[in-house]
Amino acid sequence: MYTKIVFLKNIFCKVIILPCLLIIILFQKCIDPVTPEFEFSEELVFIDGFITTKTKGSYVSVRESKLEYGLYVTTPISGCEVSFINKNQNRIISLYEIEGVYLPDNNFKINPGEKWELNVVLPNGENYSSIPEIAPSIVNVNSVNAIFNEKVTSVISLSGVERDISGHKILVDFDDPIDEKNYYLHRFKVYEKTVTCKTCTDGVYRNGECLVLDFPPYQRFQRAYYLANRDFTYGCEVPCWDINYNDETKIFSDEFTNGLNVKLYEIGNVPLISDNPFFVTVQQFNITKSAFNYYKTLKDVSENTSSLNAPLPTALIGNLFNPNNIEEFVLGRFTVASESNSSLFQNRKDLRDKVNNNASAYGIKKIDPEIYGMPLPEPLTYFAPCEETRFRTAIEPQGWSNYSQD
């Protein structure tokens, strides 16, 4: 079996991508140089908030810049008081903190037409608010398509040669309303059933962790065997799915398609690294023009396609402010969006012969499990838990059983 790498994992993490862009943008060069209004320093506050019409889609990330080992990074700020405020009803929704992110109750969602704002109070008492936004109307996704292509991306292989990677392009169809201006943000996540729940490099899995073995001198045979075969994979104790996310900001304006049926609009791709089927869930957000402009600026700068005539930090300034200090730069944004979802199950058994080529380009190597009779410490271990994380779950994706034959 092949160890799996999470394709371009993390880049689109809700709480990772924007802080990463913070670092990228502040060190990016403009084609037309300008004088920045401030220098990147420690303790800059960065807030990424999102609220939608679907349950389990709203969140707030509060981070600050720090200098670690000579590099600027952003780290979560714990212990904040975070709340959503419904301006129509003057209703306050308090969020709770989990793993560095602030979340409302699982059943929380908003309705189109409602006006919401964000309020964040840091542990030091500093207060940050957002300019209120009204949730746009919901624009439904008509269908999701996956079309195989011989090249969906490329990577630099271990030998230093650029290699094309085949896979599936993910495309959506939707009807744009004729009576309004619409601005879209697309995200998707991919579920793929995995048979490997743990890989130990330079060790074996025992008592919930990977251990590096140390053999006494008289166990020369065991030590030699271990040094030659010290990477092992472990199956899953229960059915388990890897979760991957698209890696780029996909935005779309109906400036030239107002009122039309938008067909086969490409929102990303799924590289072919496994012949296991995948299940993709697409999120289509209808956002405000202000939010669209913010994400467009981030996209342009991250892709180095913009010759911004404003200071670079401006790209990260959204609709947040400190009511007690209007001169303070508050980086990030609070976005109010209406959401539509659609899913697709894609089988890849007929593409099995193409998997090895892509795997070798990524440098994925074959790693075997422990086998009975190996001179390894007892008890030999064959399975590991499916740990619940943002990138893995034992909870079957809704709709998977409607298509899967396993």
pLDDT of amino acid 312: 45
pLDDT over 80 at 213, yes or no: no
Highest mean pLDDT among 155-169, 190-204, 244-258: 244-258
pLDDT of amino acid 321: 94
Q: Confidence class of residue 36 from pLDDT cuts 50, 70 and 90?
A: very low
C-beta neighbour count of 45 within 10 angstroms: 21
Mean pLDDT of 356-362: 60
pLDDT of amino acid 398: 85
Q: 241 with 192: CB under 8 angstroms?
A: yes
pLDDT of amino acid 401: 83
Mean pLDDT for the chain overall:
81
Mean pLDDT of 112-124: 97
Per-residue pLDDT reduced to its tens digit, 264-321: 999 999 988 888 899 999 999 999 999 999 999 888 877 764 444 444 445 577 899 9
pLDDT of amino acid 363: 53
pLDDT over 70 at 10, yes or no: no
Q: 303 with 21: CB under 8 angstroms?
A: no
Omega prior to 123 cis, within 30 of 0: no
Q: Classify residue 62 by burial, with Cβ atoms within 10 Å: 0-12, 13-18, 19+.
A: buried
Question: Tokens representing 169?
Answer: 């392009």
Q: Confidence class of residue 371 from pLDDT cuts 50, 70 and 90?
A: low
Q: What percent of the chain has pLDDT over 70?
A: 76
Q: Confidence class of residue 68 from pLDDT cuts 50, 70 and 90?
A: confident
Beta carbons within 8 Å of 182's beta carbon, 6+ residues apart: 136, 139, 176, 253, 254, 258, 286
pLDDT of amino acid 14: 40
